[in-house]
């Protein structure tokens, strides 16, 4: 199981002060930043485009973990990798050639991963496990920050961890949605090594302590 990593989600930052907010993420000792891209179709909300990633790229060394919540991710992965994404994750629910899209991300030089919604069976990501650097199991229905963690999703992360061990894969296992200091240990026990936190991180009174609490989970 990988060393735990906290990936603060920029969605919960003050969008009028993004550069300062990102300095705050670095100041807390974080190494990753999670960037949520929404299209208003796959999810009922809109967020950022590739220009944000391009503008942030020269200002930070943070590993940019770009989560595409799009109906047609294949049309956008190149833009996001060229803008400076270190990793791009794509959902398995829309109809498109997922393997081809993963290859495209890798060929462009970024890490790649698949994402599944809370109601999507873990078997939907099984065909891609040898092709990915990370599998993201959503612990809320995507679209909005500040929702409640769905503990039932942990059966899927435990299954992913079992497959990883049995089959010799080395993808990371990420959760996203309602993650906080109370439920992160449960996630860790269910095989999770990568923790996205929006609200809990940005509202925390001591972000360094929050990061340490996550990144020192056994």
Using CB under 6 A, list all residues that contact ligand DX5: 9, 11-12, 34, 36, 67, 140, 142-143, 145-147, 176-179, 196-200
Please tell me the distance from the alpha carbon of residue 11 to that of residue 204, in angstroms, as a whole number: 15
Binding-site partner at residue 110 among Zn ion, ligand DX5, none, CB < 5 to 8 Å by type:
none
**39, 67, 88, 184: residue in contact with Zn ion (rule CB under 5 A):** 67
CB atoms within 10 A of CB 133: 17
Say which entry of Zn ion, ligand DX5, none residue 73 contacts (CB below 5 to 8 A, set by partner kind).
none
| 29 DSSP assignment | T
Q: For Zn ion, which is the closer residue by CB, 33 or 58?
A: 33
Structure-token pair, residue 88: 């791009």
The residues carrying an active-site annotation are 36, 176
Q: Which residue spans within 39-103 are E strands per DSSP?
A: 63-69, 87-91
Task: Compare residues 115 and 160 and give the one whose CB is closer to ligand DX5.
Answer: 115
Q: Does residue number 176 form part of the binding site for Zn ion (CB under 5 A)?
A: yes
What residue ranges in the chain does DSSP mark as E strands? 5-8, 32-38, 63-69, 87-91, 111-116, 134-138, 172-176, 194-197
Any contact of residue 36 with Zn ion (CB under 5 A)? yes
Q: Minimum distance from CB of 57 to ligand DX5 (Å)? A: 20
Which residue of this chain has its Cβ atom nearest to Zn ion in the complex?
67
Residue 33 binds which entry of Zn ion, ligand DX5, none, with Cβ cut-offs from 5 to 8 Å by kind?
A: none
| Rounded-to-integer distance, Cα 103 and Cα 75, Å | 13
Around Cβ 168, how many Cβ atoms within 10 Å?
Answer: 8
With vertex at residue 182, the alpha carbon angle to CA 177 and CA 186, rounded to the nearest 5 degrees, is 80
* Residue among 178 and 191 whose Cβ is closer to ligand DX5: 178
Quote the least distance from Cβ 115 to Zn ion, whole Å: 8
Nearest-CA neighbor of 179 among 191, 195, 156?
A: 195
- 82, containing H or E segment: helix 77-83
Nearest to ligand DX5 of 36, 193 (CB atom)? 36
- With CB under 5 to 8 Å by kind, the binding choice for 197 among ligand DX5, Zn ion, none is ligand DX5
| CA distance linking residue 112 with residue 104, whole number of Å | 9
Q: Tell the smallest beta-carbon distance from residue 34 to Zn ion (Å).
A: 5
Query: Rule CB under 5 A: which residues touch Zn ion?
Result: 36, 67, 176
């Amino acid at each position: 199981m990988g060393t735990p990593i906290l990936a603060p989600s920029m969605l919960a930052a003050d969008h009028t002060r993004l550069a300062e907010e990102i300095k705050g993420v670095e100041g807390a000792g974080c190494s990753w930043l999670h960037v949520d891209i929404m299209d208003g179709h796959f999810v009922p909300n809109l967020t950022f485009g590739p220009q944000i990633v391009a503008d942030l790229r020269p200002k930070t060394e943070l590993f940019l973990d770009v989560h595409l919540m799009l109906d047609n991710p294949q049309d956008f992965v190149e833009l996001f990798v060229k803008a400076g994404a270190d990793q791009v994750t794509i959902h398995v629910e829309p109809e498109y050639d997922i393997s081809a899209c993963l290859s495209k991300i890798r060929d462009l030089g970024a890490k790649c991963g698949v994402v599944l919604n809370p109601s999507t069976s873990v078997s939907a990501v099984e065909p891609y496990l040898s092709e990915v650097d990370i599998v993201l199991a959503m612990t809320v229905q995507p679209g909005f920050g500040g929702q409640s963690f769905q503990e039932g999703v942990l059966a899927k992360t435990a299954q992913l961890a079992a497959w990883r061990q049995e089959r010799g894969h080395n993808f990371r296992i990420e959760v996203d949605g309602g993650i906080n200091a109370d439920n992160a240990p449960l996630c860790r026990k269910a095989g999770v090594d990568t923790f996205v936190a929006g609200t809990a991180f940005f509202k925390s009174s001591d972000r360094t302590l929050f990061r340490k609490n996550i990144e020192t989970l056994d």
